[in-house]
A = this chain, B = another copy of it.
Amino acid sequence: MLDSVLVWIDKNRRAWLDDLKQWLSIASVSADPQHAADTAAAAEWAMYYLRGAGMQTKLLATPGHPSVLAVTPEGLYPPGAPHVLFYGHYDVQPPEPLDKWLSPPFSPAQRDGRLFARGASDDKGQVFCHMAALVAWKQIAMQIPVRLTVLLEGEEEIGSIHLRSVLEAEREALASASTVIISDSSQFAPGIPAITTGLRGLVYYQITLTGANQDLHSGVYGGAVANPANELCQLLGRLHDASGRVTIPHFYDNIIAVEEAVREQWEKLPFSESDFARGLGLEALRGEPGYSTLERRWCRPTVDINGLTSGYQGAGAKTVLPAVASAKVSMRLVPGQNPAEICANFEAFFRAACPPGVKLSLECLSASPAALTPSDSPAVRAAMAALEIGFGKSPVLMREGGSIPVVNWFKEILGIDSVLVGFGLPDDNLHAPNEKLDLDCLYGGIRTAAALYDKIAGN
């Protein structure tokens, strides 16, 4: 039956493309209150499309943008089929700066086998692959191979503010799922489909040092009082040793080493460090000694300053001892690192090193662990088989350096592991002007999604 579904998917490429363009034309910018009606319209469009696959839909209101919940009614799936939860988001990043777009962000345009629009890859285009696959199954087989719950949120780009409470409210309906499928990541490279089995966690701090009760003249007072900017640099400068390793006590203590087999697989991936550096305009890469660039991005933790603010920042010279110096510092965590322990050690490091004459304030803005999903579960094996069917190439197992907090919440609140099957490419310009999805990725993604539910059902 899958073969017939795939044939029908391939025959209807033009229709899929037209349908996706409709959805991409709706400016569901969750960050912008002026687009609240558009965001609601994008949710409505998804419900309409899911009903076309025979699903029952419901809008879950939140104090912010609603989530869409869709379930397969009895009769639409074979009795006894596994219960699968698909998660995605229908909101998009703001399109600014508009003058950098070659075609308007909400007027989807095809150029060179690519579809350009805000949300083409992140995440409407990837969610659409699944919705189209469901429509195809309904059309050809009159049913969907699994019992499926679709959950689409409208606040992913603004921190998934209300998703935790949605998950808690719908726990009973969701928790019987055996796996979560997410398509909000990318393939390793064109022609190299991938499953992402790990994400780094994130701890983010605002650090502020305060000295005198006001900015002081650096001539009159310099040398006689602690300078918060000097002290902040001394403290932050001590976070790494000369080789680039983090010096916070116990920072590396509990890291779960990457299995040798996984590491060997990564070494075989076609990745050029010099191309990577050149693309960023860099003459040299720099990172923790003893690790490759992929390892540094995927499985090694970091401490990075995200922002520095102190004293005079205008043109020319102003001779001032700043009263305040502050920094934003993030840590990317890897499996084994406990955010609470990392926070405690980070804070202890600063409190122990802070000299007299300045006041230290530490504010933790977020703390979430890394996510490591099983790489040999039945769901992952189904996803690998599906990607091979969808794209004609056997997929690799990779990780990503960023964080998708919802993966942790599915584990924590529902007890379910996620499988990250991304259809995009690393050059899709996510969060940037000229976001795009290659049409090959779109059509391969629909094929993959169609095969995935069939394989999870054990067919």
**Residues of A that sit less than 8 Å from B by CB:** 31-33, 93-94, 96-97, 100, 157-159, 200, 202, 204, 206, 211-227, 229-230, 232-240, 276-277, 280-288, 293, 296-297, 300-322, 325, 327-328, 330, 332, 355-358, 365-366, 400-403, 426, 429-434
- Residues from chain B with a CB closer than 8 A to the CB of A232 are 233, 308
User: Are A31 and B317 in contact, CB atoms less than 8 angstroms apart?
Assistant: yes
Q: How far is the CB of A93 from chain B (nearest CB, A)?
A: 6
Q: How far is the CB of A68 from chain B (nearest CB, A)?
A: 22
Tallying the copies of this chain within the complex gives 2
A407 to B100, CA, bound (A): 44
A222 to B334, CA, bound (A): 12
Closest residue of chain B to A200 (Cβ to Cβ) is B219
Closest residue of chain B to A359 (Cβ to Cβ) is B283
Closest residue of chain B to A226 (Cβ to Cβ) is B286
User: Are B400 and A225 in contact, CB atoms less than 8 angstroms apart?
Assistant: no
Closest residue of chain B to A273 (Cβ to Cβ) is B224
User: Are B307 and A318 in contact, CB atoms less than 8 angstroms apart?
Assistant: yes
Extra inter-chain contacts (17) besides given A284-B356, A286-B358, CB under 8 Å: A97-B215, A158-B317, A212-B280, A214-B429, A215-B432, A218-B302, A218-B304, A220-B426, A221-B401, A223-B288, A223-B296, A225-B280, A230-B303, A233-B305, A233-B308, A306-B318, A308-B311
Set B33, B225, B238, B431: member contacting A319, Cβ < 8 A: B431
Which of the listed residues A235, A308, A311 has the most CB atoms from chain B within 10 Å of its own CB? Answer: A308
User: Are B401 and A222 in contact, CB atoms less than 8 angstroms apart?
Assistant: yes
User: Are B281 and A212 in contact, CB atoms less than 8 angstroms apart?
Assistant: yes
- Residues from chain B with a CB closer than 8 A to the CB of A317 are 31, 158-159, 204, 206, 306, 328, 330, 365-366
Shortest Cβ-Cβ A-B pairs, 10 listed:
A237-B237, A219-B402, A213-B281, A286-B357, A229-B305, A307-B311, A233-B236, A226-B286, A284-B356, A308-B310
- Residues from chain B with a CB closer than 8 A to the CB of A218 are 302, 304, 306, 330, 332, 431
Q: How far is the CB of A134 from chain B (nearest CB, A)?
A: 28
Q: How far is the CB of A152 from chain B (nearest CB, A)?
A: 20
- Residues from chain B with a CB closer than 8 A to the CB of A214 are 100, 429, 432-434
User: Are B312 and A305 in contact, CB atoms less than 8 angstroms apart?
Assistant: no
A316 to B33, CA, bound (A): 11
Q: How far is the CB of A208 from chain B (nearest CB, A)?
A: 12
- Residues from chain B with a CB closer than 8 A to the CB of A327 are 229, 233
- Residues from chain B with a CB closer than 8 A to the CB of A217 are 402, 430-432
- 22 examples of A-B residue contacts, CB within 8 angstroms: A94-B312, A94-B318, A100-B214, A206-B317, A211-B282, A215-B431, A220-B401, A220-B402, A221-B280, A222-B330, A223-B296, A223-B297, A224-B285, A224-B297, A234-B237, A284-B357, A305-B311, A307-B322, A308-B308, A308-B309, A317-B330, A319-B402
